[in-house]
Structure 1
Amino acid sequence: MAAARATDLTKVYGQGETQVVALDSVSVEFRQAEFTAIMGPSGSGKSTLMHCMAGLDAISGGSARIGDVEVSSLKDKKLTQLRRDKIGFIFQAFNLLPTLTALENITLPMDIAGRKPNKEWVDMVVETVGLSGRLKHRPNQLSGGQQQRVAVARALAGKPEIMFADEPTGNLDSRSGAEVLGFLRNSVQQLGQTVVMVTHDPVAATHAGRVIFLADGRIVDELYDPTAGSVLDRMKRFDAKGRTS
């Protein structure tokens, strides 16, 4: 079953001569308990696709669904509710509140929503991301990798139907980045989470089970069980063809 699905999804910015087609009739399915990486050249529509799927950006045409809910049909209040209850987000910037402890940052979205955290689930998430000994620390007492782990745990804590990660290792050194990617993969394998990650890093993409390649706002290829070599080969092919369609 699909956790999210785009059908002929189109996103256009501007009008007339300045018009840019960021997404050109994209159709793709993100299945439950699957880790998908989205890759492509700069300006290919990677982040736009994720933002449209998550309801962070309005779409120009087609359809974007989370589960069986059509995202574009929702009014602001319902859209906010959908993002809060069904979607987890991880960004390149960790977006933690400096005055709160790691645990308080993890449970913050649920606290704001007035929902009581499921202690058993939160404990399992904390263990999965390896934060058990750091819960009372504030962000300035944590390394960059540990801060991003807190962000991963926060995204997982509400049991979202799907988790979107936009360059989640972009601000991390290679070791911390590998740890965070390992935790994301564990959340898929052990917790049944669905993860969609935008990345430009072929090594990061190898943690996913599937890679989708975008160029000029269209899906041009996909790859299962990727290796760094196979991802690089595909990327080089697009460059050689001058951003092929």
Structure 2
Amino acid sequence: MTKAYGEGDTRVVALDAVDIEIPRGRLTAIMGPSGSGKSTLMHCLAGLDSVTRGRVWIAGTEITGLKDKELTKLRRDKIGFVFQAFNLLPTLTAEENITLPTAIAGRKPDADWVEQVVAAVGLQDRLRHRPAELSGGQQQRVACARALAARPEIIFADEPTGNLDSRAGAEVLSFLRRSVDVLGQTVVMVTHDPGAASYAHRVVFLADGRIVDELADPTAEGVLERMKRFDKIRTS
């Protein structure tokens, strides 16, 4: 998969022939320095951006050839998103925010599944609260539950703890890992934080638009050492 912007002398290659497989039922973290292509990779995998060359599949469906209407439906039904900004509707309760995607799709939410998700994020006593009545960590947990409520094939999380303090961030990361281990979800998380990456089953490292390394069962210390090694290579 290649993603380039511009033409001729102004052409910039954001992703340079990247080949990656995201295993089902695992939490995969994508890391790299600023400008390495990690957000571009996530956006292309999720169908939020087109690729210049190459193909992308989600659960057996090639998304790179889909028309806009088909792609919108696939993102609605098969993909969940968690962003750094919580993106909750302020006039809705936590429960209404969680079930909003299924309501927009004209479907009734699976009550038993939503109950499992709510229990997993520990929001049982906050369902009737509006976002302004919740802490940042609670709002992000609502966003995570919303992403899970439609039972997507995969969830993409872009710096999900970027606006949170360390304690709230740890709560959200613990839930994302628990959603994989207990609920069988598949999660891809873009992060710059070695501590956040340590919650993943696997870390994929990008530099200059290419995958340069991987690390299984990471620790924060191991991720930090790997990143220091890349910095030395880039500056030598």
User: Runs (4+) of structure 1 moved beyond 6 Å?
Assistant: none
Q: How far did 1:243 drift?
A: 6.8
Q: Which of residues 115, 134, 156 in structure 1 aligns to 2:107?
A: 115
Q: Structure 2 residue aligned with 1:229, among 221, 230, 235?
A: 221
Select 2:71's aligned residue among 74, 79, 82: 79
In 2, Cα distance between equivalents of 1:77 and 1:90: 22
Deviation of 1:240 (Å):
0.2
User: Structure 1 unaligned runs (5+)?
Assistant: 1-8
Partner of 2:233: 241
User: Which whole-Å CA distance do the structure 2 matches of 1:22 and 1:237 have between them?
Assistant: 22
For residues 200 and 112 of structure 1, the distance between their equivalents in structure 2, rounded to whole angstroms, comes to 33
Map of 1:136 onto structure 2? 128
Which runs of structure 2 are paired with 1:88-237 in the superposition (5 Å)?
Answer: 88-237=80-229
Residue 34 in structure 1 maps to residue 3 in structure 2: no
Opposite residue 23 of structure 2, the aligned amino acid is R
CA offset at residue 97 of structure 1? 0.2
Tell me if the contact between 1:215 and 1:243 (Cα under 8 Å) persists in the aligned partners.
Answer: no
Q: Aligned partners of 1:85 and 1:188: how far apart in 2?
A: 18
Instruction: Describe the superposition over 1:41-60 as per-residue Cα deviations: whole angstroms up to 9, x where unpaired.
Output: 00000010000010000110
| Deviation of 1:15 (Å) | 1.0
TM-score (norm 1): 0.95
Q: Deviations over 1:113-132 (max 9, x none)?
A: 00110000000000001110
Q: Which residue of 2 aligns with 1:12?
A: 4
Shift of residue 16 of structure 1? Answer: 1.3
Root-mean-square deviation (Å):
0.9
Q: TM-score w.r.t. structure 2 length?
A: 0.99
Read off the aligned partner of 1:189 and give its amino acid letter.
D
Are the equivalent residues in 2 in contact too, given 1:106–1:150 (CA < 8 A)? yes
- The change in CA–CA distance for 1:15 and 1:183 in structure 2 (over 3 A counts) is same
**Which structure has the highest strand share of the two?**
1
SS in 1 for 2:20: strand
Q: Once the two structures are superposed, what CA deviation does each residue of 1:12-49 show, in whole Å capped at 9, x if it has no partner?
A: 01111111100000001001100000000000000100
- 2:40 is the counterpart of 1:43: no
